[in-house]
Structure 1
C-alpha cells in the first residue's frame, strides 16, 4: 500500500507544465533546484519500507501497511506515534522539511469533523471527504495544501475587480466543476494532489458564492501551470550553504486555467458556511506537526550556539549561560505545549481525537512570535565569525589554506575544518537568504499572527477565569451569562475523569 521512492518519482513525471527562472522544467525529479526535496520525499517512502524504520514510520492494519502520518487519530498513542515518526524523519535527513504531507493531510480531518455542515449542501460531499481520506491511507499520495490566492485589492469584493484574483467556479458540467484563478502552494510542483480551499474572504451576508469552493486537485490535471520562485539550491557551494542546498521547499504560484474538477473530488461548493467552517478549523490537527518543526529548529539553534560557546570555553561564563537558558526556555515551552496538547487531548465533533486546542494554538503563538528573538540570541552566541568567515574554496586553496588553518584551529578537539563547517551551518541557518525566507515562511505558513491569536481566542476556556472571579468577588451567578462549559469542567478535570487510574492515585 505504501509506495516506494521510485514509484513516487515516476508519479510526478506526468508532463505537468512547470516553470522556474522563466524556463520550462523538463524533468522535475532531476532539476537541481527541485531534486533535493524530491529526493527527501522519495526517502520518506523508502523509510516506510526499511525494516529498521518501518515500525516507526508506518502501521499495519488488516494486513496492509500505511503511513503513520496519514493515520486518523483516535487515541493518544496515535499522536505519540505521529510525533515519533516526524522526529525520526527530521533526524534522519538532518534538517527541517515542512511540506511533505503529514502536516497537510490533517486539514482534511477538519473537514471530516464538519460532515454535518457538508450534508446541508449535499450528502455526496461528506461521502467524498470520507472517500478521499481512505484514498490517502491506501494510495499514499504526496498531499499538499492550497490556501492563499493572489487576492488583488482586498478593500473590494472579488466581483468588483478581476474575478480571477480569487479562485472561483466558472461553470458546471455533468462530470464536474470548472475553476479559474490561482493559488500559492509550497511543494505543489512535485506533489501529487492538493486540498484546495478558499482564502479568508469577505462573504458579507451571502449564503452562496462561486468563490466558496473546496476540492482535491490532481496536480497532473490539464490546464494547470506551475510558476515557481527561484530556489536556493545550487546558488552557492553546498559546503558553504549546507541547508540552502538541501532543504529549500520550492513555493509555486499554481495557475488554474479552466481546470476540470470531477464531482467526486469536490468537497464543498458555493455554501459559504462550509467555507467559513473550514477556515475556522483548518489547523485543528495540522498545527501539531507544524509546531513540532519549530521544536526541532529550536534544537538546531541550541546545538549550533552551544558548540560555538564551548569551542572557546565561553559556556563557563554566566552571561553566556543565561543566553543559552533563554534558548532552552523557548524550546521547552514548545515541548510543554505539544506534550500537554496530547495529554489533555479532546474528542472532536467527528469522533477523532484532536490535540487540546487551546494549548496547541497557544503553543503555536509562542513558537512563531518568539522565533525571530531566539534566532537573534543564537546569532549573538555564535559570534561575529558566522558573517565574516571565508568560503570553503579559501580553506582549500594552497596560498590561503595555511593561514586559515592557523587562525581557525581552536584546540586539538576543534580543528579548522570542523570550525569552518560549524560556522557555515550557523550562517546558513541564521544569516543567509534561505534563513530569511524560512523566518518569513514560519510567520505566515499557517496564517498570519492575528489569525494565530484569533484561534487562541476561539478555543480558550474563558468560563474558568470568569467563574473563579465571580465566586471570589461574591458576584451573582447571572453575571456569568451563557457558559460554554459546565462549572469546573476544565481541561485538567476532563483529563482526570478519563484517566481513572491516575485520578485514584491522586486521591
Structure 2
C-alpha cells in the first residue's frame, strides 16, 4: 500500500549510521542538511493521498484492489508511460524544482533484471525468483528505492586482485544465511532511502567466468555494517533567499561503506556469473533512462524561463541575436521532448513481455540531453547577463540604509521592481552559476554512466541494417556484402 510522508520519515528512524562533515547524524529527518530533500520525498508520498493529485500519482491494482504508486508500476502499455511522465511532471510542478533520485528513476533497473531472468536462470533459478519477489515487494510496500552503482575503484590500471580488494565491492564469505560483502559504493540519496539495488559498475573480471566482484543484491540502507559518509550539503552555506535552489533541492550524495554486511540469499539477485553481470550492465538503463531524460526536459524549461524573463525585463527580447539564442534553447528543449514522445510512440516489447521505450530513440535523446547541456547552460548565462554573478545579497536589498540604492538601480518599471529582479537574478545564479549549478551539471553528465557509455548504448540499439540495405540497393552491391 502507498505510504504517507510521515510513515516514510518514521522508516528512516531505524538507527542507521549516517555521517556528514564529521558529525554523526542523530535524526536524518530533522538534520538541516537533509531535511529539505527528505521533506520533498515525503511530499511525493503525500501527493499520492491528496484528492487533487491521487489519481495522477497512483493507480488501483486489479489483483489486490489497493492503490499503488504509478512510478513503480510495471509498464505494459503506452498509456503506462504517459501516466509515468505525467506523474513526474506533477511532482516537479508541485515542488517548483527538480529532484532526480526519488525512486521512479531507479526502479526501472529492476525491470531490466526482470527482462534478464532467462540469463539468470542459467546461473541459479533462485535469483530470478528473488527478482520477481523484490519487484512485487517494491510495488506493494512502496519503499524509497535507490541504486548503488559506482565504486571508488582505486588504480584502474590494475585488476582488483592486485590492489586493495575492497576498492571494488566483493563477496568475502558465503554462509548458510547469505553472502558477506565488503567495499564501498557512491549513491545519491542512499542516506535517506529505504533500500538500494547494488550492482557492479563495470566488467572488472577480465576473461573470468566466475568472479566475487560480479554481484548484485538488494540491501536495506539501515542494515548492520552499512555506513553512510556524506558529502557536505549545499543547504545552509548561504541564505536561502540568495540560493533558492541549493537550499531546497540538494540531493545529498553518499559514500556507502559495506563493512562485512550480511546479504540474505533471498536478497541476492545475481552472483559470480560474469556473463549474467555483463548482460545486466548492458541493459541496465533501458527503462530508467526515460526518467533521467525527462528531468533534462524540465531543466531546459527552467533555463528558457530564466533567460526569457531576463531579456524581457531589460527590453532585449526583440533583438535578432537574442531571439537566435532563445531559439537555440528551444531547439534543445524540443529535441529532448521529441525523443521522449517518440520513445513512447515507437515503444517495443521487452524480452519478458513488458513495454520498454524505443531503445534507439531513448538513448539518442539521452546523448542529446547530456552532451548539449553545458553549451545550453552557457547560452542561458549569456541571456541572463553578467548581473547574475555581481548582484549583492538579499540582505543588501532589505537593509534600511542601503536598500534605497538597491531599489534605485534594480527597479526598471512598475512591472519589474527591485525585489522581483533580485529574486530572478538569484534564481538564475543558482541555476546556472553557483557551486550547486556546477555540481548538477557534473551529476547529469555522469550519474547514469559517462558519455562514452551513452554512445555505446546508442551503438548497441541503433538499426544499422536499414542504412546498409539502402546503400546495397542503390549501389547495386551483391547479397554477400551483408554477410558479417
TM-score bracket, normalised by the shorter chain, equals over 0.9
Q: Could you say which residue in structure 2 is the equivalent of 1:501?
A: none
Q: How does 1:168-207 map to 2 (within 5 A)?
A: 168-207=170-209
Which residue is equivalent to 2:410?
408
* Distance in 2 of aligned mates of 1:211 and 1:384: 50
Per-residue CA distance 1:71-117 (angstroms, 9 max, x = gap)? 00000000000000000101110001000000000000000000011
Per-residue CA deviation, residues 49-87 of structure 1 (Å, 9 max, x unaligned), is 111101100101131000000000000000000000000
Task: Name the structure 1 match of 2:328.
Answer: 326
Quote the residue 2:469 is aligned against.
Answer: 467
The correspondence for 2:243, drawn from 241, 244, 257, is: 241
SS at match of 2:249: coil
Does residue 21 in structure 1 map to residue 21 in structure 2? yes
Partner residue in 2 for 1:489:
none
**1:316 counterpart SS class:** coil
Q: Spell out, residue by residue over 1:306-332, the C-alpha distance to the aligned partner (whole angstroms, 9 max, x if none).
A: 000110210011110000000000000
Aligned to 1:214: 216
1:447 paired residue number? 449
Q: Deviations over 1:90-145 (max 9, x none)?
A: 11100010000000000000000000111011111000000000000100000000
Please list, as runs of the form range in 1=range in 2, the aligned pairs for 1:252-401 lying within 5 A after superposition.
252-401=254-403
Corresponding position of 1:155: 157
State the 1:202 CA deviation. 2.7
Counterpart selection for 1:429 from 428, 431, 440: 431
Equivalents in 2 of 1:441, 1:45: separation in Å? 25
| Misfit runs of 4+, over 6 Å | none
Tell me the matched-pair count. 482
Distance 1:202 1:466 in 2: 34
Output the CA distance in 2 between the equivalents of 1:70 and 1:113: 16
1:4 pairs with 2:4: yes
CA contact (8 A) 2:410 2:422 kept: yes
Unmatched 5+ stretches in structure 1: 483-507
Aligned twin of 1:502: none
SS of 2:360's partner is: helix
Superposition RMSD on alpha carbons, in Å? 0.6
Give SS of 1:136's match: helix
Cα displacement string for residues 362-411 of structure 1 (whole angstroms, at most 9, x for unaligned residues): 00000000000000000000011000000000001111111100110111
1:50 corresponds in structure 2 to: 50
Q: Could you tell me whether the CA contact under 8 Å between 2:144 and 2:194 is conserved in 1?
A: yes
| 2:470 corresponds to 1:476 | no
Distance 1:425 1:204 in 2: 48
Aligned to 2:101: 99
**Number of the residue aligned with 2:67:** 65
- State the Cα distance separating 1:352 from its structure 2 match: 0.5
| Partner SS, residue 133 of structure 1 | helix
Q: Could you say which residue in structure 1 is the equivalent of 2:110?
A: 108
Q: 1: CA distance between counterparts of 2:482 and 2:94?
A: 52
State the Cα deviation string for residues 7-47 of structure 1 (Å, max 9, x = none).
00000111111000011011100000100000000000000
Which residue of the partner structure matches residue 233 of structure 2? 231
Distance 1:3 1:202 in 2: 39
Q: Secondary structure at the match of 1:217?
A: strand
Match of 2:131 in 1: 129
